Amino acid sequence: MLTMQDALARLTAYWTDQGCLVVQPMNTEVGAGTLNPATFLRVLGPEPWRVVYVEPSVRPDDSRYGENPNRLQTHTQVQVILKPDPGNPQELYLGSLTALGIDVAAHDVRFVEDNWASPALGAWGLGWEVWLDGLEITQFTYFQQAGGLNLEPPSVEITYGIERIIMALQGVTHFKDIEYAEGVSYGEVFGQAEYEMSRYYLDDADVATNRRLLELYAAEAQRLIDEGLPIPAHTYVLKCSQAFNVLDSRGAVSTADRAAEFARMRRLAGDVARLWMARRDELGHPLGVVSPLPPAAAFEAATAGEAPRTLVFEVGTEEMPPSEARAAVEQVRRELTERLGGTRLAHGDVRVHATPRRLIAVVADVAAREPDHERTVKGPKTGAPEKAVAGFARSQGVPVESLETAELNGVPHLVVRKHEAGRAAPAVLADVLAKVTGSLRSAKNMRWNDPQLAFTRPIRWLVALWGDEIVPLAVSSLLAGRDTRVLRTAAQPAVSVASAETFMETLAINGIVANADDRRELIVTGAQDLVWDSGRIDVAGEAALIDQITYLVEQPTPLLGTFDEKYLELPAAVLTTVMRKHQRYLPVRDADGTLLPMFVTVANGPVDVERVRSGNEAVLRARYEDAAFFYRADRKLPLAAMRDKLQRLTFTDKLGSMADRAARIAALSLSLREPSATLERAAQLVKFDLGSQLVTEMTSLAGVMARDYALHAGETPAVAQAVYEAELPRSAGDDLPASVPGALLSLADRLDLLAGLAATVGLPTGSSDPFAVRRAVLGLIAVHRAHPDLAGIDLTAALAAAGALQPVEVPAAVLADAGDFLAKRLEQVLVEEGHPVDRVRAVLPHAGRPSFADLLLAQLGRLITDPRFLALAEAIQRARRIVPDGTPAGYDPALLKEPAEVALHETVQTVRRELPADADLSRLTAVAGRLTDPVNAFFDEVFVMADDPALRAARLGLLATVRDLGAGLLDWPQLRL
C-alpha cells in the first residue's frame, strides 16, 4: 500500500525530475502553501522558478478535535509552482498522478472550474479543482496577480491535498486511519496534536494575548517594510494572518475588525510584494529572466484547388468553465461571420460547437478564392497642375499615360483603375482566423505562457483546415496544423485530421462528442436508462445542472451510484445541494418525487466503471457524513444560541453584523401591519440558521435548515414555515412565501437590504451588483404580487421605514432613487410578461403596491373594450387637454346656466358622491359611466372659453373636476386608447 510518506516522497521526486527545486515548509504557521515565500514572493517578477514543497497548512477554523473524519486543523499540502507555464502543465500534473500509482485512464480525472482569490493577499488566479472520481484532490491555478501586482509571466500553481488523496487511494474513511508509514497510522502519529491544537484554536487560545500578538506583528511588519526588508516583513505578515485566524476561530473577530484587518493585510502584502520586486531588480534578478515564447512563423499556403471546400477551425483549450464555453460559441459565430463578411470569399453555413476543451467552427462551401476585383484610386481633379498629376501617377506606380478620368461626386477626376486578383482561400482564412482567435474574450480572462493571447483558459492548439489543406494560420506563439487532441487518456492523445470534411468524424471516432445537443441527449437518456428500474431523473427540474454537465465532459459516460439509506434522514435539500452544487450528480426520485438513495454522475470517457462508481460513492459518503456531523451538532444547539452566533457574522462593514440585520428585519416586519403571534415568534428567530454549522458550510440551505431546526426545537409549523419563507425567493423562479408571516419577513429582509445598501454601497449599476440587490428587488415585487392580501402595504413607505432602522442615515434622495429603481424593475417585469407598455406605464404610479398595479392592469385588460370606460377615459383626457395645468377642481355652480353644463355639474356631483375613496377602475367605470352623455353634450353645446372670466373659470373648474375623477388611479396620459 502506498503510505502517506511514500506519496510525499514520490510527488517530490516526480517534480524534482521535472526540474523543480525542493524547499522546506515555512517555519511559521501558514494557512496554505501559497503563503510560503517560495510561492508568494517567487511568483512575482520576471525570474523563472520551479519548486515543489510540502506545506503543513494550519486552518484554525477547521479544528474538530480530530473527530470529523475529513477535517483537520492542520492538513498537508504538496505545493508546486511552475514559472513560466511550461505549456503542458495539465499533462505534467497527470504524470504526477501516475507517479502516485493512479491509473488516470481507468479513473475519472476532471478539471472543474474553480477560480481562486485571496483579497487579503491581493491575489487571484483562474483554474480548476481537479476531481478524481468526484473527489477534489488538487487545486490547479494560473496565478495572475499577487500583492496587487500583475504577474508577468504568470505562474502555474498546483496544490495537492495529500490526506484526501491518500484516503481515497487507501480506501479509508477517517483521516486517522490513513497508513502514514508502514504499520503506523496517521492517528497514532498526529491524533494527539490534532486534538490539542483544536482545543487551543477553539477553546483555549487567549483572546487578549492573540490580539496583542496581532498588533505587535503588524507593527513589526510595517517597520520592516519601512526598513526595506521584504523577507522578514513577509514573515510577520504571515504571523498576522495566523493570529487573526486564531482570533477568528475563537469567535473574537468583531464586525469592524475583519474588514480592517483584511485591508491592513492587503496593504502590507502589497508593500512586501513591491519591495521584493524592487530588491530583485536591484540584485539583477539572480535567477535570470524568463524569455517570452517567440511568435510562430506562418508557412506559405499551398496552392488552393478550385472547388469550394469546408473550413474547419478548432481552438483547443484547457477546460473552459461551462458558461464560458457556451458564451464562446456565440462569440466565435459572430466574429467569424462578420469577418468572413468583410472578405469577398463566398461561403455557406457557419456552425459552431463547443466542448470543455475546444471551440469548433465548421463553415460549409468556402470558395477556393475571392473573385477578382477592380479598384478605383482617386487622383487629382482633371486639369490639375502637371506636377500633381505626375506625383499621383508615381505614387501609384503607373505612367501618367495610363491615368483615366472618372466622374466622382459629379466632378471629373483622374483615377487609376487597379485590377486586384482575388486571394486564395487559405490566405484569406489565415487573416480571418487570426483575428477571430485574437479577439476571443471571456467574462474573466487570464494570461498563460503566450505573450499576447488572453482568454478564459489557455489556448494550447489550433486546427485550421480548408478542405485537406492547412490554413497558414499563426497567432502569437501558436501555429495551426492538422493535429487535434482527443481525450488525454487515449492511447493516442493527438490525432491527425485528413481534411476539414472528415474532422467531425475523426473526433467522433476518437470519442469526442463535439455537438452539445448530442452530449445532452447521451447524458439524459443514459441517466434515465440507468435508473429506469427504480426511479426517474427530473430532467426538467435538473435542466440547469444537465446543461452544466454537458459542458463538463467531452464523452459523457453516465454511471449509477448509491448511498446508504440512513442519509435519507437528512433533509432532502441537504442531500440534493451536495449532489448538485458540490458534485454535479443527478438526484434520482421515485414516482412521488421522493429521493432515492442513488445518484447519477457523468464521467468523461471510457473509465473503469466500478472504480469510478466506488470513488464517487465514497466522496458522497464523506460529504454526507460531514453534513450529518454538522446536522447532529446543530440540532443539539438551542435556537437562541445559534442566533447569538449571528453577532460574529459581518453583514457589511457599515451595516453591522448579521444579528443587527436580523433585528432590523424583525422590527420592520412587525411594523408592516398588525403582527400575528406567528410573526412575532418568527421575527425573533429570523435568519438564526446562519449561525448553524450546516448553513455555514452550505449557505444555499439558509431557510431550509431554519425550518428543519425550528420544527425540531418544538416551534409551531407556522413559525417554522415563516422562517423558511423569509428567505424566499432565493433566485428567479424560486418558490414564493405562501404564508403572510413568511411574506412579511421576506419583504422586510429585502427592504432592509435595499435601504441599507442604497445608502452605503449604492444601487446596482450595469454588471456590478455584489450584494444581489437587483434580485432582492425582484423578490420584493414578486412577493408583493403573490400576496394581494398585502396589497395595502406600500413598499415605498416601507422602504422609508427600513431606512429609518439603518445604523447609517438614509437621505430622502436615496430613498427616492431606490423607489425609482423599484419602479423600473416593476415596469421591466410587467412588460416582459407581455403587458402593453402604455398600460404598464399607466399603472406605475402604484409601483409601491405591485399587487394593486396587477389588479389595475387586469381591469384595464377587461375595460379596454368597454365603451363606458373608453368614453370615460376619453372624457377625462379631453378635459385634461382643455384645462390648463394647475387649475383646481372647483367652481361656483351658481354661475353655470347652460343646460348642458348644469346637467354635467349635477352628474359630476352624483358621481363624486357615489365614488368610494378607494375605488378601482371597475368601480370608477361603473359609477362614472353615466358621465358619457353629459360630457359629450357639454362639449357639443358649451363654449368653455367664455368671455366672462368668472363664467370661464367656472366651466374650467367643472372640467377639472371631471379630469380629476380618475386621478391617482392611473397615469392617464400614458394610456393610449
Let me know if 701 is exposed, middle or buried by CB neighbors in 10 A (0-12, 13-18, 19+).
buried
Give the residue with the Cβ less far from a copy of itself, 219 or 641. 219
> What region, left, alpha or beta, does residue 26 occupy, with left being phi > 0 and alpha being psi -120 to 50 degrees?
beta
Q: Decide the pairing of beta strands 404-408 and 411-420.
A: antiparallel
Q: Which stretch binds a copy of itself (CB under 8 A): 204-212, 341-349, 502-510, 852-860?
A: 204-212
In angstroms, what is the minimal distance from the CB of 130 to a copy of itself?
Answer: 23
What is the C-alpha to C-alpha distance for residues 352 and 4, in angstroms, rounded to an integer? 46
Minimum CB distance to a copy of itself smaller for 202 or for 718: 202
Nearer to a copy of itself, 76 or 650 (CB): 76
H or E, element range at 853: helix 850-863
Nearby residues of 301 by Cβ (< 8 Å), 6 or more positions away: 424, 426, 427, 430, 469, 471, 472
Contact with a copy of itself (CB under 8 A) among 2, 189, 490, 711: 189
The reply to whether 206 sits near a copy of itself by the rule CB under 8 A is yes
Which one, 69 or 819, has the nearer CB to a copy of itself? 69
The helix-helix angle for 949-963 and 899-914 (nearest 10°) equals 40
Stretch that binds a copy of itself, among 14-22, 347-355, 366-374, 559-567 (CB under 8 A): 14-22
180 in contact with a copy of itself (CB under 8 A): yes
Per DSSP bridges, beta strands 74-83 and 49-58 are antiparallel
Q: Are strands 49-58 and 21-22 parallel, antiparallel or unpaired?
A: parallel
Taking residue 776's Cβ as centre, other Cβ atoms within 10 Å add up to 21
Q: Contacting a copy of itself (CB under 8 A), which of 224, 253, 658, 935?
A: 224
List the helix and strand counts (H, then E) for the chain. Answer: 33, 27
Q: How far is the CB of 60 from a copy of itself (least distance, A)?
A: 11
Nearer to a copy of itself, 218 or 336 (CB): 218
- Nearer to a copy of itself by Cβ, of 150 and 209: the residue is 209
The reply to whether 218 sits near a copy of itself by the rule CB under 8 A is no
**If binding is defined by CB under 8 A, does position 196 make contact with a copy of itself?**
yes
Contacts of 552 (CB under 8 A, 6+ apart): 110, 112, 322, 356, 584, 602, 604
Q: How far is the CB of 216 from a copy of itself (least distance, A)?
A: 5
CB of 214 to a copy of itself, least distance (A): 11
> Is residue 810 within 8 Å of residue 766, measured between CB atoms?
no
Q: Which distant-in-sequence residues (6+ apart) come within 8 Å of 794 by Cβ? A: 848, 849
Nearer to a copy of itself among residue 193 and residue 408 (C-beta): 193
Residue 547 CB, shortest distance to a copy of itself, in Å, is 44
Neighbours of 153 (CB within 10 A): 24
Distance CA(470)–CA(326), nearest Å, equals 27
Q: Which is nearer to a copy of itself, 112 or 246 (CB)?
A: 246
Give the residue carrying C-alpha cell 470543455. 356
H/E stretch holding 587 reads: strand 586-589
Q: Does 204 bind a copy of itself (CB under 8 A)?
A: yes
Give the interface segment with a copy of itself, choosing from 207-215, 847-855, 878-886, 911-919 (CB under 8 A). Answer: 207-215
The sign of the dihedral angle between the CA atoms of 692, 697, 701, 702 is positive
191 binds a copy of itself (CB under 8 A): yes
Contact present, 724 and 703 (Cβ < 8 Å)? yes
Place of cell 472547388: 307
- What is the footprint of a copy of itself within residues 64-123 (CB under 8 A)? 76
Q: Answer yes or no whether residue 897 interacts with a copy of itself by CB under 8 A.
A: no
Q: Is 798 in the site for a copy of itself (CB under 8 A)?
A: no
Q: Which of 509, 514, 541 is nearest to 527 (CA)?
A: 541
Q: Are 588 and 36 in contact (CB under 8 A)?
A: no
Report d(CA 451, CA 294) in Å as an integer.
8
* Residue 714: count of CB within 10 angstroms of its CB: 9
Strand bridging mode 309-317 / 459-466: antiparallel
**Binding mask of the shown chain, residues 370 to 409, with x at each position contacting a copy of itself by CB under 8 A:** ----------------------------------------
CB atoms under 10 Å from CB of 473, counted, come to 26
Give the containing element (helix H, strand E) for 531.
Answer: helix 516-531
Contact assessment for residue 314 and residue 486, using Cβ atoms and an 8 Å cutoff: no
Looking at residues 621 to 640 of the shown chain, list those that interact with a copy of itself (rule: CB under 8 A). Answer: none
Distance CA 835, CA 130 (A): 48
Pick the binder of a copy of itself from 91, 98, 150, 209 (CB under 8 A). Answer: 209
Nearest distance, CB of residue 283 and a copy of itself, angstroms: 7
Binding segment for a copy of itself among 216-224, 353-361, 535-543, 734-742 (CB under 8 A)? Answer: 216-224
Query: Residues 8, 495, 736, 791: which binds a copy of itself (CB under 8 A)?
Result: 8
Q: Is the dihedral of CA 905, 909, 915, 918 positive or negative?
A: positive
Quote the least distance from Cβ 13 to a copy of itself, whole Å: 7
| CB 152 to a copy of itself: min, Å | 20
Q: Kindly provide the b/e burial profile for residues 267-306, where b requires at least 16 CB atoms within 10 angstroms of the residue's own CB.
A: bbbbbbbbbbbeebeeeeeeeeebeebeeeebeebeebee
Nearer to a copy of itself, 218 or 668 (CB): 218
User: Is there binding between residue 12 and a copy of itself (CB under 8 A)?
Assistant: yes
Judged by CB under 8 A, the stretch of 13-21, 105-113, 344-352, 805-813 that binds a copy of itself is: 13-21
Taking the complex as a whole, the smallest distance from the CB of residue 253 to a copy of itself amounts, in Å, to: 19
Distance CA 855, CA 923 (A): 12
**508 contacts a copy of itself (rule: CB under 8 A):** no
Of residues 29 and 113, the one with the C-beta less far from a copy of itself: 29
Q: Out of 283, 494, 543, 640, name the contact with a copy of itself by CB under 8 A.
A: 283
* Binding pattern for the stretch 287-316 against a copy of itself, x by CB under 8 A and - elsewhere: x-----------------------------
Should residue 262 be labelled a site residue for a copy of itself when binding is judged by CB under 8 A? Answer: no
Position among 199, 334, 611, 880 found at the interface with a copy of itself (CB under 8 A): 199
- Residue 192 engages a copy of itself in binding (rule: CB under 8 A): yes
Identify residue 850 by its one-letter amino acid code: P
What SS3 state is found at 968? coil
- Comparing CB distances to a copy of itself, the nearer of 9 and 408 is 9
- Report, in angstroms and rounded to the nearest whole number, the Rg of the chain calculated over CA atoms: 36
- The single residue among 105, 202, 229, 633 that binds a copy of itself, judged by CB under 8 A, is 229
Q: Which amino acid is at 237?
A: V
C-alpha distance from residue 864 to each of 836, 853, 954 (Å): 12, 16, 32
Cross-strand pairs, 556? 604
Give 202 or 713: the residue with its C-beta nearer to a copy of itself: 202
> Where would I find the H helices in 206-254?
207-226, 230-249
C-alpha cell, 722: 415563516
Residues 16-45 that bind a copy of itself (CB under 8 A): 16, 19, 21-30, 37
Stretch that binds a copy of itself, among 212-220, 312-320, 322-330, 771-779 (CB under 8 A): 212-220
Tell the smallest beta-carbon distance from residue 293 to a copy of itself (Å).
21
What is the size of the binding site for a copy of itself (CB under 8 A)? 57
Q: Closest separation between CB of residue 26 and a copy of itself, Å? A: 7
Q: Which residues bind a copy of itself (CB under 8 A)?
A: 5, 8-9, 12-13, 16, 19, 21-30, 37, 54, 56, 58, 76, 180-182, 184, 187-189, 191-193, 196-197, 199-200, 204-206, 209, 212-213, 216, 219-220, 223-224, 227, 229-232, 279-280, 283, 286-287
